[in-house]
Amino acid sequence: MSTIHDQAMNYVYQQVLQRLLSFFSRAERTALQLLIQRLAVAAGGMDRIGDFKVLAIQSGTRDCCYSLALLRAAQLSIAGRAPATFQLRVATLRSNGVPASALHNLHRCFSALFLHDDPRVELLMVDHREILPFNHLAPVCDEGREAGRLNLLMVGHRRGWDEALTLWDDLYLSTAEFYGQVARWNNGVDALISSDNALRQEQFLDGLERAVRKVGLGELSRKGGGFEELFCLLDSLGGDCYRELYSQDDRVPWRPLGEFEACRRTSYIGIDDMVVGKMEERWPLLSDFLGFQADDLMLEARTGECADPLIGAYLKGLQASYIEGRTYEAGVSEYQQQCLATMRRRNTPEQVCERFESAFANLADLAEHRSLAAAALQKNFDLDEPQLVCLLFAPFINAGAGLERFLRTCHPGMLVAMPELHRAMQGLHAPEQVLQWMTDVSGLPLRLISRLYAMEAVPMGDHLAKAPELPEHEVTLGDRSAEG
């Protein structure tokens, strides 16, 4: 019975391969053969390919889905001509703010490629430092959602009030942990495979270095090797990138316990040179075969970038009005123009640019924009506007050096309570109303405010202080009413 089942499944896999290949151009078929050769060399020869396991990170973007289809074609092509093929680990990091559409795109992609029941494939997701089977319907667990919110705030507060707020810097840390741990889990993997080009690799490492400095882990010992040196850098950071921000009681171990190798020398295989052709040429494969759907007004953001342009513009507007002495409208307009300039510089189709412009123009006024963005921030990140404004001022760091500026600008009625606020941040007795106000306005429990009070702001060098560029990917636009 097992032999009959295996024969039937092999037939199904070959049908999947033939359908995949029917969408490939001649250049893509050539790239596929080069990919097979590159994998065979990395494995030490085709006779050892069956013992070779590769890791593919998936976030639900078009680039990710396309790269996975190319990798699956290589796996099935080898299986059709050799006794064994390589094993594939596909892993997704769950975090606050990831749109449901990305997870549904992944599920449809996995199903189209017949990954779910293939014993040569592992489909995993990581939620709150726990490795689990992939489930596109499972929301981020409550503990993970809260941990993500606190990480965002704690990392964001480690800066001077006059420095640009890179709101999602904590994602560099969580992504670095994710890469390192998912590569070591359950006997580990031999190689990470990615289509990120050299520029994107360096941008990720720049963001990681900025975040690493913010949380007090020193500097990365980079040699300029891009992702070739990624796992050496991750080993130097250790398994917990947030350990300087929290007490031992607040730290959660990676789970399942005891299933991670102490050290894993994972190599890197870049395939950015094998992603050929233009996006519009790949669209039939993505939409007709993989089931990719572009439903939301979302930027296809990389690590550390805001996927929702409404929230990105909102943040720029708040920073302009509270910190820079300009108007909210000026900040929003500047963000829109930056987005459009970036899109046109990267040859995004003009109709997409026009739809991006109209998406903002269709908002009746800035009050509507602000209301929609604030609602999205609350829904996706559990933050409200007063907490975001507090974060802009970073008033607790350096023994509360920026507290008076924050109070005079935003809460002048609390100036009289400054002595009690300082006492509370030092862990001394203070009125309950003062303690409650601090928690409400910051979104942080008192114990973490006290930790910030005892820490110094981390000044960034010029190359690290710069906020990450707007996403390189094209923009996907649709009806926001479809958001869920």
User: Residue 192 corresponds to which tokens in the numbers above?
Assistant: 């990470």
Taking residues 157-169, what's their average pLDDT?
84
Q: What is the pLDDT of residue 478?
A: 32
Indicate whether 74 pLDDT > 90: yes
Q: What is the pLDDT of residue 348?
A: 64
Indicate whether 472 pLDDT > 50: no
- Rounded distance, CA 180 to CA 214, Å? 20
What are the boundaries of each domain within the chain?
2-289, 303-386, 395-453
- Rounded distance, CA 84 to CA 75, Å? 9
Q: What is the pLDDT of residue 129?
A: 97
Indicate whether 385 pLDDT > 90: yes
Lowest-confidence pick of 78-87, 93-102, 130-139: 93-102
Indicate whether 145 pLDDT > 50: yes
Lowest-confidence pick of 43-52, 254-263, 468-477: 468-477
Give the residue, 301 or 3, on which the prediction is more confident: 3
Residue burial 89-108, b: 16+ Cβ < 10 Å; e: rest: bbbbbbbbbbbbbbbbbbbb
Indicate whether 7 pLDDT > 90: no
* pTM for the whole structure: 0.90
Q: What is the pLDDT of residue 297?
A: 57
Indicate whether 319 pLDDT > 50: yes
Give the residue, 61 or 69, on which the prediction is more confident: 69
Indicate whether 468 pLDDT > 90: no
Which residue is listed with tokens 């790269």?
Answer: 67
User: Residue 275 corresponds to which tokens in the numbers above?
Assistant: 């992603």
Give the residue, 323 or 122, on which the prediction is more confident: 122
Indicate whether 255 pLDDT > 90: yes
Rg of the chain, C-alpha, whole Å: 24
Bridge partners, residue 442, by sequence: none
Q: What is the pLDDT of residue 466?
A: 45
CATH class of the domain comprising 2-289: alpha beta
Q: Which of 131, 120, 127 is nearest to 258 (CA)?
A: 131
Lowest-confidence pick of 35-39, 92-96, 302-306, 409-413: 302-306
Q: Which of 396, 397, 425, 393 is nearest to 410 (CA)?
A: 393
Indicate whether 168 pLDDT > 90: no
